[in-house]
Structure 1
């Protein structure tokens, strides 16, 4: 059966749009899981602000758990796209089989590990005596649903890389809609508080996971999708060597996402430390709102750059470097346009966003100011996202990892050092400072290595081809 999108033949601009837009929407909707939870939590009568701070402490831990789905899912899907570009469908099948097994084992291992260590993690990551109980309740329930969260996130990449971004988007949107409904029911109808928010998230992720697996398994009696993938999940041909290749390719995006959690953890801990018992919890609550807003920007950017990696990987595997270059230019243009729009929105409308989380006047004022500060460097940041993900799609994971870790490292340094010399809330300037500086460095490195890397690919293929020619 012909795929919905031909990654090797379709016109580049429409193809990028077909993959980028649904994946961007799916990522945006995925972001809504945490934002909707925080919105409902922040509006719980009496305890809303403290519960919101508790959920904010859990946020980076939840992101850290989710990043393990990317470790296998993105690594495996990039490798699979390359093999499809090389017309090696049997090898692509083996990659999918191994990735599925790896996600199951990883999900079960992480569920047990985090349940045993969650108390210590929450205390170290910024929970105070007042917010610990709320954070503990949320994280305990969420961790029990880790199996479905990781499996759904990881396997969804294999839908997109086969040319079905609309199906991928549908599985995520279905879960998000159910999350909105269940949040309202569990929190305000059944009066379950922050536990209701966590339970709503788990059940919604379970639904998304089931839909994802229904699409990727071979057709059975019940199949809610008219389309079917070129490569479906099967069992067998497991290989430790192949598993290592998947993990090696997925390690860079995994570290990129997991260190996103680290910088949020450092921010929360620094704000709690420098803010003290007087302002610590309020600053963490503001940071939670600000970081939620940033997800509305970085989430769609990840959708654009991550969703289109399949185009780059497929054509790199097919040695069609002209299409790789065309795709990279269009991806960059889309991402810069989006970040520019969001920069303007951040100048004029942040207060409207803050109001959905809290009615506290001081918290609204602090969060609105913080959003404007945090978003000062988002236009340069779009270059960082496009070039790092582009290098990852080409298999240059070490280069991509180095550039990403540099940005995160500078962020942490700025977060810890700036409050020593200025007000505690000045820590929020760490984001734009690291964004601008590292985007400049990333752009220079990308321009130096991109064309050379493609040239080596062409030369290597030409040499191999000449050896095979009688």
Structure 2
């Protein structure tokens, strides 16, 4: 166990970043398959595929909120645990893990009850029409019943990554995703269950992942263990973790607010094509969310390295990790930007063969993702602030892209530019956020990297 911990502070940065990031990237991409595969299968249902795709597009933002609460605890607690490990405070790190486990469990109960009681209202807010509401509710209700599995699988898996067990973290996601991919066609088509089958497959798969995570974190191979003595919630342990988790929570939950805004604007400006346009937006958001996942995985792979070495006051290793991270992220986002511009129809066909969608969606995809070019820098800087334990600035930067920029632009630009302004809002916000975040990062990290502030409570 000591050898596993020491490699974060001693192994060559390039080799370590590859070892940590590849499984994290794989896990992120595989995790996306839970919903992407659902949409692909559902979108190709005979006769009702486009309507079913619109239904999942309405339910998906609410599903993202459930995942965001897992990030609030897991991605807030895990970097603090890694910093504590780097500072030689294993007992404190295990207290963070134990408190996070209890918080995830309690939050699951609250979210399940809340969403079951308000599902009709929420789905309508998020764009469900009279036609799409029954399918959307069918999928969402089943998914909500599996909230505890989602919380445990996603939230606790961050603590596996934080210890340097990147391959084990990837396996958590892999076993669930493979189960989902196998079960989807069996339940959707074989048992003719449609969207209900997709939801059941997802919940069952997440449950398998949750059991896997808990078994590992209570087993012999883990450095940090879930212990009964640490399950009692202590505000001085949990609240700082939640404060740091606000940033990834905002990044995930605001996807829901963004889709709510987009769908509301489409309902206002879309005329008699509302359902087909919401289907198109569902595909565009799916593509965007999928393409940013490798960058997210890359930053998650770098986080334990940055956090551990920051806690150990090895600032040169922190700087070297960040430099390699931002270069790698920009190379990736530039490549994706070029592929989308050249081959947009290829990506649209993955989700639907509907002639109406194929006529309008490729052009919108080119516009929608044109800001991808710079997002590598934005994600690298913002997530490195999380790894450094800087809760306040990371929270502001998480708010910047979606809340401060994107949502207002999605509301204002259509007034000036007409319907197309809805799709232009995304790249405009991406470019502005990337430039702003990079500037803030390089101004603020001079002090952080000087070694003046390395306390967990900074």
TM-score range, shorter chain: over 0.9
- How does the TM-score come out when normalised to structure 1? 0.93
Q: Which segments of 5 or more consecutive residues in structure 2 lack a partner in the other structure?
A: none
Cα offsets for 1:211-256 (capped at 9, x unmatched): 111111124xxxxxxxx11111111233222111211121222122
C-alpha distance in 1 between matches for 2:208 and 2:448: 41
Q: Does 1:264 align with 2:264?
A: no
SS at match of 2:8: coil
Counterpart residue number, 2:13: 12
Q: Does 1:442 align with 2:454?
A: no
Counterpart residue number, 2:228: 235
Counterpart residue number, 1:464: none
For 1:422, which of 413, 417, 422 is the aligned residue?
417
C-alpha distance in 2 between matches for 1:217 and 1:460: 28
Q: Does 1:96 align with 2:97?
A: yes
SS at match of 1:455: coil
Counterpart residue number, 1:465: none
- How does the TM-score come out when normalised to structure 2? 0.96
C-alpha distance in 2 between matches for 1:323 and 1:33: 35
Counterpart residue number, 2:368: 374
Cα offsets for 1:334-358 (capped at 9, x unmatched): 1111112211211222212211222
Q: Is the 8 A contact 2:71 2:248 kept in 1?
A: yes
Q: Does 1:403 align with 2:397?
A: yes
Counterpart residue number, 1:315: 309
Q: Which segments of 5 or more consecutive residues in structure 1 lack a partner in the other structure?
A: 220-227, 462-470
Q: Is the 8 A contact 2:184 2:198 kept in 1?
A: yes
C-alpha distance in 2 between matches for 1:240 and 1:417: 41
C-alpha distance in 2 between matches for 1:415 and 1:332: 28
C-alpha distance in 1 between matches for 2:38 and 2:260: 19
Cα offsets for 1:4-24 (capped at 9, x unmatched): 461111111111111111101
C-alpha distance in 2 between matches for 1:328 and 1:243: 27
Q: 1:3 to 1:173 in 2, by over 3 A?
A: farther
For 2:324, which of 321, 330, 342 is the aligned residue?
330
Q: Does 1:46 align with 2:47?
A: yes
Counterpart residue number, 1:339: 333
Q: 1:3 to 1:133 in 2, by over 3 A?
A: farther
C-alpha distance in 2 between matches for 1:339 and 1:304: 12
Q: Is the 8 A contact 2:313 2:451 kept in 1?
A: no
Q: Does 1:66 align with 2:67?
A: yes
C-alpha distance in 2 between matches for 1:279 and 1:136: 22
Q: Is the 8 A contact 2:319 2:449 kept in 1?
A: no
Q: Is the 8 A contact 1:335 1:386 kept in 2?
A: yes
Counterpart residue number, 2:117: 116
> Offset of 1:151 from its aligned partner?
0.8
